[in-house]
Amino acid sequence: MTNRIARYFDPDAGHPLDRPEFVDRQRMLKVLCGGLMVMMTMIALLVIAVVRFALGARPLPGNAGLVAGVPILTIIAAVLTLTVPTLATILVPLLRAAGLRKVATTDPLPPEPGAADENDADRLWKVYSVGKFVEYALAEGAVLATAVLFHVTSDWVMMGFIAALVLYMLVKFPTTEKARSWFDVAVPEMEAIRQSEPPASE
């Protein structure tokens, strides 16, 4: 598989992700994703501090809005937590398939003055990055919403939901091995699309 990937892009360059520009892109993506995980953790700790020391761990609305003894807002937070991986499982493959088809069947946009032309590896990296940003954006939104709900209810179960979301982000962290595996699967799929569909120009 690796030799096939290397031959597809450049016979002398090896795997595209080994090139210096892609090493830099991978490093930046890791920094961004890692920074989001740290930021979400810090927000959770800040909200915990406010609830614990400023509010005395008392819920703002009292005990109103219970379903089978569980606050409605806690149920909402649980649904948010479960929705993130579900949406990502549906949405990211759709974006990936659309991205691969676009790379396979359309020409790249003209580069900006002084910039190099985009090749298939550049365009595939964008498809991969978009998928990662969608996964992290979904988790980030759910963490922020759950942190607000915890501030209102002081239900410590929500901290478990936030921990689960941060763990989800950690599982989806874009390691070099994961990125390489993604490319090694995406390139043959792109070749198959090109063989089955006529190319089109944008």
| pLDDT for residue 180 | 93
Report CA torsion sign: 74, 75, 78, 83: negative
> Does the pLDDT of residue 55 top 80, yes or no?
no
Q: Looking at the domain assignment, is residue 143 inside a domain? A: yes
Residue 62 lies in a domain: yes
User: Is 56 a domain residue?
Assistant: yes
Looking at the domain assignment, is residue 45 inside a domain?
Answer: yes
Looking at the 3D structure of the chain, how many domains does it have? 1
Which pLDDT does position 1 carry in this prediction?
43
Give percent above pLDDT 70 in the chain.
Answer: 78
Model pLDDT, residue 151: 80
Percentage above 90 pLDDT, the chain: 50
Q: 41-50, 63-72, 111-120, 176-185: which range is least confident on average?
A: 63-72
Look at residue 28 and tell me whether its pLDDT is greater than 50: yes
Note the maximum CA span of the chain.
68
Average pLDDT over residues 94-109: 90
Provide the pLDDT confidence category of residue 3 given band limits of 50, 70 and 90. Answer: very low
pLDDT greater than 60 at residue 126: yes
Higher pLDDT among residues 184 and 62, named by residue: 184
- Kindly report, residue by residue over 152-197, the tens digit of the pLDDT: 888 888 899 999 999 999 999 999 999 999 999 999 999 899 888 7
Q: How far is CA 153 from the centre of its chain?
A: 29
User: What was the pLDDT predicted at 118?
Assistant: 76
Does residue 201 sit within a domain?
no
Assess whether pLDDT exceeds 70 at residue 56: no
Which of residues 22 and 113 earns the better pLDDT score? 22
State the pLDDT at residue 69. 65
Q: Which domain holds residue 178?
A: 2-109+116-196
- Single pTM value for the model: 0.82
Question: Higher confidence at residue 62 or residue 155?
Answer: 155
pLDDT value, residue 25:
94
User: 202 in a domain, yes or no?
Assistant: no
Using DSSP, state whether 24 is helix, strand or coil.
helix
Q: CA–CA distance from 26 to each of 84, 175, 194 (Å)?
A: 24, 8, 27
Asked if residue 183 is part of any domain, the answer here is yes
